[in-house]
Chain A
């Protein structure tokens, strides 16, 4: 129907080419390589923040590009990020009550 074709053209306009996807995959692979290297190379105090930042970057890249959230309707983002933000907030508070972060 009109509805779905509209959806599709929208995607073709803003979506990515296959080459684009491969580029994203290469970046993801590179970050993964960096992550794994922390196991062999001593990153010192940067170890934890670096790992967490790389994790978040990979996460956001897959969500935004492979899952198209960046190009799609805002309602999708709302549904997903509402769950994600709630999960992070609630479970962080939960772990905090166990004094998890000040061990």
Chain B
């Protein structure tokens, strides 16, 4: 095979980029693990300001969690369309995913403002600091995902995309699902288990 003549050949037949993405996600587990553990340690430590159970709005957060969960479905539909070389559907589902993501982030902004008005600032208590840090980190991840999705929609319109189109969509998909599973954990541990 002349593959081996290339700087980029792979000896296993697996894509480098995909392996790299999974390694990165493995690493992210320790990042979010650390943030979640910090929150778990500190969630009940309230010397001033509201306690978690006093301000969480479970119905509201349930809806936005549901929105994020469904964005995983639309993302996977985009990947599947990309594998079938169906550009129109790929673009459509990518856009819908980005919109759902934006809805989630919008909900988070609303939630943060509401909590702030109810007296939970970043410096109010250990609960406040660790709550905003954890959910804020997640929110930033979602936002980065949205930026990537939108850029992808823009780039896909160009004729030449560096790399395999479908693979690029798939990589962003992996990232997006990961952000979703982190929220699955946050939703249970932070919101549903009361303190």
Contact = CB atoms under 8 A, between A and B. Distances in A.
In the complex, are there CB atoms of A and B closer than 8 Å?
yes
A73 to B, nearest CB: 5
B72 interface: yes
Contacts of B185: 55, 59
Contact of B180 (A36, A51, A62): A62
Contacts of A88: 33
A76 B18 contact: yes
A83 B177 contact: no
A39 B40 contact: no
Interface in A20-47: 21-22, 24-25, 28-29, 32, 35-36, 38-39
B15 A21 contact: no
Main secondary structure of the interface of B (DSSP, over half): helix
Contacts of A36: 58-59, 62, 192
A32 B167 CA distance: 30
B69 A32 contact: yes
A19 to B, nearest CB: 11
Interface in A56-103: 58-59, 62-63, 66-67, 73, 75-76, 79-84, 86-88, 90-91, 94-95, 98, 100
Contacts of B13: 3, 6-7
A91 B3 CA distance: 43
B102 interface: no
Interface string B138-161: 000000000000000000000000
Interface of B: 1, 3, 10, 12-15, 18-19, 22-23, 25-30, 32-34, 36-37, 40-41, 58-59, 62, 65-66, 69-70, 72-73, 75-77, 80, 83, 164, 166-167, 173-174, 177-178, 180-181, 184-185, 187-189, 192-193
23 contacts: A2-B1, A3-B15, A6-B13, A11-B83, A21-B73, A21-B76, A25-B72, A29-B69, A36-B192, A39-B192, A52-B188, A55-B184, A55-B188, A62-B72, A62-B180, A66-B72, A66-B75, A67-B174, A86-B30, A87-B32, A87-B33, A91-B34, A95-B37
